[in-house]
Amino acid sequence: MIVTLIVVCEVGFWVLLAAGLAARYLLRMPRTGVAILLCEPLLEVLLLVVTAIDLKNGADPSWKHGLAALYIGYTVGHGHRTVKWLDGHAAHRFGGAPPPPKPPKYGMARARHEGAIWLGSAVAAAVASGLLLLASWYVGDDGNTDGLRHWIYVAWRAAGIHGLIALSYAIWPKKAPEAPEAPHGLPHDCSHGSSAVPARDPEDVPDRLVRGARKDEEQV
């Protein structure tokens, strides 16, 4: 039942997201769209309540309850980023807004971006750990809570691996590709189509020089 509810919550997340964005930008009903989007946290609350009831009714703590806690943690840590990203693209595609800025690709800006995403993973692990500890306390000493506590290790191991990947962008920042060099023997200005060869015809000479040459001829 828990696994089925997780699948239902995941499908419901995307259905509510699509409905909210459609109401905001296609139907021109921004308040209704916001109201629909605000219903998404109710899915996590429903999943949490059903999980607690399942444990209260005597179900043995298992990987299903741990997976439910991880799902709720991931939604809290990364759900807002997903909604914001899709809302920006929907506003550009259907609302006439400018395209959302792309994430940086190089240097420390990329490292800070990856670090911000990792903070979401850390929040997800913290939320999942808190829920799992509450579930262990709820079950008490009479039940087997080793499976629940194992999922705390799984959550922080995933956050740790993500943190190492994010840290690698700060230790070894990705460099932007260098601009192409000018052809050998020519200055940079000459590489953009200008010629270093003196002009031979008057029309190839700047107007000021032409007028100066004509005045010299008239004086002679």
* Segment 186-212, tens digit of pLDDT: 555 444 444 444 444 444 444 544 455
Q: Which two tokens stand for residue 130?
A: 């808190």
Sign of CA dihedral 76, 81, 82, 86: positive
Helix (H) or strand (E) holding 163, with range, is helix 146-171
Q: What are phi and psi of 114, to 5 degrees?
A: -65, -35
Rounded Cα distance, 111 and 104, in Å: 9
Rounded Cα distance, 184 and 164, in Å: 43
Q: Give the pLDDT confidence score for residue 64 in this predicted structure.
A: 86
Q: Give the pLDDT confidence score for residue 191 in this predicted structure.
A: 44
pLDDT by residue, tens only, the chain of 220 residues = 788 888 899 899 999 999 999 999 999 898 999 899 888 888 888 898 888 888 878 777 888 888 999 999 999 999 999 999 999 999 988 888 898 889 999 999 999 999 999 999 999 999 999 999 988 888 776 666 777 888 999 999 999 999 999 999 999 988 888 766 655 555 554 444 444 444 444 444 445 444 554 555 455 4
Q: Which residues of 162-194 are buried (b: 16+ CB within 10 A; e: fewer)?
A: bbeebeebeeeeeeeeeeeeeeeeeeeeeeeee
Q: Give the pLDDT confidence score for residue 147 in this predicted structure.
A: 78
Q: What is the radius of gyration, based on Cα positions, of the chain?
A: 31
Rounded Cα distance, 10 and 44, in Å: 10
Q: Give the pLDDT confidence score for residue 185 in this predicted structure.
A: 53
Q: Is 217 exposed, middle or buried (0-12, 13-18, 19+ CB in 10 A)?
A: exposed
This prediction's pTM? 0.74
Q: Give the pLDDT confidence score for residue 59 in this predicted structure.
A: 79
